[in-house]
Amino acid sequence: MKATMIFCTALLAVPAYAQDSDRFYPPEGCTPQLTVQSRGCSVSNIYTCAADQPGENWRIEFDVDGPIFLSKIDSETQWLESYDMFPMRRETLVQPAPDPASLTELLETGTDSYDFVQRSETGPIRVVGYDRLTGDEVVIDGEPLLVTEFEARHETTSGTILEVSGNEYVSVRHRRFIAGTYSGTGANGAFESDGSPVDFIYPGEPGFFTKTPLYDCESSLARYVPTVKGYDQ
């Protein structure tokens, strides 16, 4: 219930400043940490809240029309709680998971399999797949990142609703996945997307906690990018 209240407060905070500021203000008791400007007309703001457990953090994502996704993960990148905005949908992690996502295992062994269930209003969604470090490392806007490859399958009681694979990035510093390139099939058929990071913005830097995405927005008006395991994550 506490996390849900934080979520509602975050949504209410967005329009309150829409006419006089481009900045996103997290809920009271929460601390802004990082802004990531990405391809695919997306900007994400990451913050921590005093009411949460150590290692947990929130990410709210914006496109040109406003907030589209909110999620909370823990230090192992388990997808604890998430909210899609259009249409509104809430999912929570059923614990304990048969094979929980583990960033520690990925970093120590190079591979992490997972098998967990998300509870939603329309029924349970089982997510099965793996993440694997490719051995490549890149630096984007001064940020060192490990490159991963992954495959994931989302299943409901009526069958598979999403199959997706691609490459993501891992920030060891922030203990989280960062979006990359994806392809697969979902409710709207086959898709490809590129949400790779372009800018990493810290407190005191221009554009920190902005609500305005900067990249690829001219071609994104009709895009459909499903939520996938890895980057909210």
Task: Identify the CA nearest to 204 among candidates 32, 19, 65.
Answer: 32
Full-model pTM: 0.87
Residue 5 sits at φ, ψ, to 5 deg, of: -65, -40
Q: What is the pLDDT of residue 93?
A: 98
Q: What is the pLDDT of residue 219?
A: 62
- Per-residue pLDDT averaged across 172-186, rounded? 96
Place 221 in a pLDDT band, splitting at 50, 70 and 90.
very low
Alpha carbon of residue 77 to chain centroid: 10
Q: What is the pLDDT of residue 227?
A: 53
Structure tokens at 98: 């048969």
Burial of 180 (0-12, 13-18, 19+ CB in 10 A): buried
Place 218 in a pLDDT band, splitting at 50, 70 and 90.
confident
The fold for domain 2-219 equals YmcC-like fold (2.40.360)
Specify the higher pLDDT residue, 19 or 66. 66
Task: Give the Cα separation of 201 and 114 in Å (integer).
Answer: 31
Q: Coil, strand or helix: which one is 177?
A: strand
Residue 79 has pLDDT above 50, yes or no: yes
pLDDT tens, 2-40? 444 444 444 544 444 444 379 999 999 999 999 999 999
Task: Give the Cα separation of 66 and 59 in Å (integer).
Answer: 14
Task: Give the Cα separation of 111 and 133 in Å (integer).
Answer: 6
